């Protein structure tokens, strides 16, 4: 028997596997597809997703394969310059295809000892008070202490665990193709820019090597959304709006996606948990999905490891649902709003014009960009300092930078007083005595996911918070 089975070898599952391996947890990842997909389901990472990778020392591996785009507020196609100074050391959008992220995370997870088994589809599961048993399509049976479904919006794990997935079905679809075109890029982008003024789900994005991601609204809903469109279908929809299909040819992939919006009723059923798209689906407006899944894994990994390694305080694992479910609900709400604001009906257009005016106010602009980038997330850890519950950005220290100290995925006491101690928790929490001009409090206790669990300078108060998040002293 292993410790954890992860169903799904996409970015969320791989990130979770790596987080668990940092704590010595035995992990088997079962992935249905025999080979990694080359289709770019996502084309970028927002600031919080970038921070997650930087906190584990992974960002430098990824930056050479991506492009840093200046950060700006984009909400339902309404664009404004980014407000002043944002609370992040990474004020940019990292343009990078999802396969590049997945490839890097595969290397990271397997180098840490995760057992990745491709071509292994989970088809059944059962659980009792002690274990979960998973059955694969080839008849193999695996047992583990826990199982996590990271197997996408049509999650088999979620269905087998009996977790409800309430929300709204798709009302409209968009067709996508990774294709070559027969006109100069300047001509393509001039037409796309004009059409995009009124149709916000029409576009073309260069992917390099003469390849473009071409998208257009579908004529209606497909009977089976899992069946990809033909190239002719895509070209017909592009022509309907643009008057030309740009001579699109040689498709590498064709797909469709809808605007269905659903959120799992709960993220845990006994020894089965959900993360990423298995727990929430939403339209791609704002490009938030990839970062959202990575943050799920970042939150769950250390908590599940603590449970398995025997030091988790009561309720720690259940705090995964309590913290992440509201975050996903907020993303679903902002994508619902963005979809409505792309409607050409008079009502939504009136609201759109009003929002355009409001976005000229710095406070509104800042609030929207913090939502989209994920840097505005604050977990409810009770009353206290304004930093409590927020993640701490990467700050400069006298001896280096904060995120260089977090690669091992442990808790961290950053102590500017030199008078505090983590004695009794040193096997779970690092104690760093250093100072920063960017931190105006005596000391902060960071959880392994980078969120602030305590602020102050009182040792007794610190001890209580260490017990709350890291269990009993040893």
Asked whether 295 and 242 are in contact (CB, 8 A), the reply is: no
**pTM summary value:** 0.93
Domain 396-470 has CATH 3.40.190.10: no
Residue 249 forms beta bridges with which residues? 180
The whole-angstrom separation of Cα 74 and Cα 78 is 5
Fold of 173-258: Alpha-Beta Plaits (3.30.70)
Burial label for 152, CB within 10 Å (0-12, 13-18, 19+), is: buried
Domain residue extents for the chain: 2-167+262-373, 173-258, 396-470
Arch. (CATH architecture) of 2-167+262-373: 3-Layer(bba) Sandwich (3.50)
The whole-angstrom separation of Cα 204 and Cα 27 is 39
pLDDT in tens, the chain (474 residues): 999 999 999 999 999 999 999 999 999 999 999 888 767 677 789 999 999 999 999 999 999 999 999 889 999 989 999 998 899 999 999 999 889 999 999 999 999 999 999 999 999 999 999 999 999 999 999 999 999 999 999 999 999 999 999 999 999 899 999 999 999 999 999 999 999 888 888 889 888 888 998 999 998 888 888 889 999 999 999 999 999 999 999 998 898 888 899 999 999 999 999 999 999 999 888 889 999 999 999 999 999 999 999 999 999 999 999 999 999 999 999 999 999 998 889 999 999 999 999 999 999 999 999 999 999 999 999 989 999 999 999 999 999 999 999 999 999 999 999 999 999 999 999 999 999 999 999 999 999 999 999 999 999 999 999 999 999 998
Q: 263-267: long-range contacts (C-beta < 8 A, 24 or more apart)?
A: 263/165, 263/166, 263/167, 263/325, 263/328, 263/329, 263/332, 264/158, 264/163, 264/164, 264/165, 264/325, 265/163, 265/164, 265/165, 265/166, 266/163, 266/321, 266/325, 267/320, 267/321, 267/324, 267/325
Burial label for 19, CB within 10 Å (0-12, 13-18, 19+), is: buried
What is each CA distance from 134 to 14, 24, 303, 421, in whole angstroms? 18, 22, 22, 44
Estimate to the nearest angstrom the gap between the alpha carbon of 392 and the chain centroid.
18
Burial label for 290, CB within 10 Å (0-12, 13-18, 19+), is: buried
Beta-carbon neighbour count of residue 347 at 10 Å? 9
């Amino acid at each position: 028997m292993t410790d954890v089975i992860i169903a799904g070898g996409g970015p969320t599952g791989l990130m979770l596997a790596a987080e668990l391996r940092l704590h010595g947890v035995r992990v088997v990842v079962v992935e249905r597809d025999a080979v990694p997909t080359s289709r770019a389901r996502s084309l970028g990472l927002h600031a919080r997703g970038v921070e997650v990778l930087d906190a584990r020392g992974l960002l430098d591996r990824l930056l050479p394969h991506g492009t840093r785009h200046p950060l700006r507020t984009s909400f339902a196609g309404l664009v404004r310059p980014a407000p002043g100074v944002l609370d992040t050391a990474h004020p940019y959008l990292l343009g990078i295809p999802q396969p590049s992220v997945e490839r890097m995370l595969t290397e990271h997870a397997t180098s840490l000892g995760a057992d990745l088994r491709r071509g292994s589809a989970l088809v059944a599961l059962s659980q009792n008070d002690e274990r979960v048993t998973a059955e694969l399509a080839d008849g193999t049976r695996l047992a583990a202490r826990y199982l996590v479904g990271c197997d996408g919006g049509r999650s088999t794990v979620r269905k087998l665990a009996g977790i409800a997935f309430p929300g709204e079905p798709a009302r409209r679809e968009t067709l996508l193709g990774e294709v070559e075109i027969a006109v100069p890029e300047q001509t393509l982008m001039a037409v796309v820019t004009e059409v995009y003024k009124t149709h916000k789900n029409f576009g073309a994005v260069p992917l390099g090597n003469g390849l473009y991601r071409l998208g257009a609204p579908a004529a209606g809903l497909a009977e089976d959304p899992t069946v990809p469109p033909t190239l002719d279908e895509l070209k017909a929809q592009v022509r309907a709006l643009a008057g030309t299909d740009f001579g699109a040819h040689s498709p590498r992939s064709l797909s469709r996606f809808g605007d269905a919006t659903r959120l799992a009723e709960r993220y845990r059923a006994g020894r089965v948990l959900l993360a990423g798209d298995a727990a929430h689906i939403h339209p791609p407006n704002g490009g938030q999905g990839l970062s959202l899944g990575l943050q799920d894994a970042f939150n769950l990994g250390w908590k599940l490891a603590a449970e398995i390694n025997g030091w988790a305080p009561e309720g720690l694992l259940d705090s995964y649902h309590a913290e992440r479910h509201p975050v996903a609900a907020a993303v679903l709400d902002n994508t619902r709003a963005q979809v409505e604001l792309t409607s050409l009906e008079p009502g939504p257009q009136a609201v759109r014009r009003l929002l355009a005016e409001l976005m000229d106010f710095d406070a509104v602009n800042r609030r929207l960009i913090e939502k989209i980038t994920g840097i505005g997330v604050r977990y409810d850890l009770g009353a206290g300092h304004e930093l409590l519950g927020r993640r701490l950005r990467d700050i400069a220290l006298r001896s280096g930078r904060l995120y260089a100290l977090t690669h091992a995925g442990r808790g961290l006491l950053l102590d500017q007083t030199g008078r505090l101690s983590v004695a009794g928790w040193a096997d779970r929490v690092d104690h760093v005595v250093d100072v920063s001009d960017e931190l105006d409090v005596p000391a902060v206790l960071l959880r392994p996911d980078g969120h602030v669990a305590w602020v102050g300078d009182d040792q007794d108060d610190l001890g209580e918070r260490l017990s709350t998040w890291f269990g009993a002293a040893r």
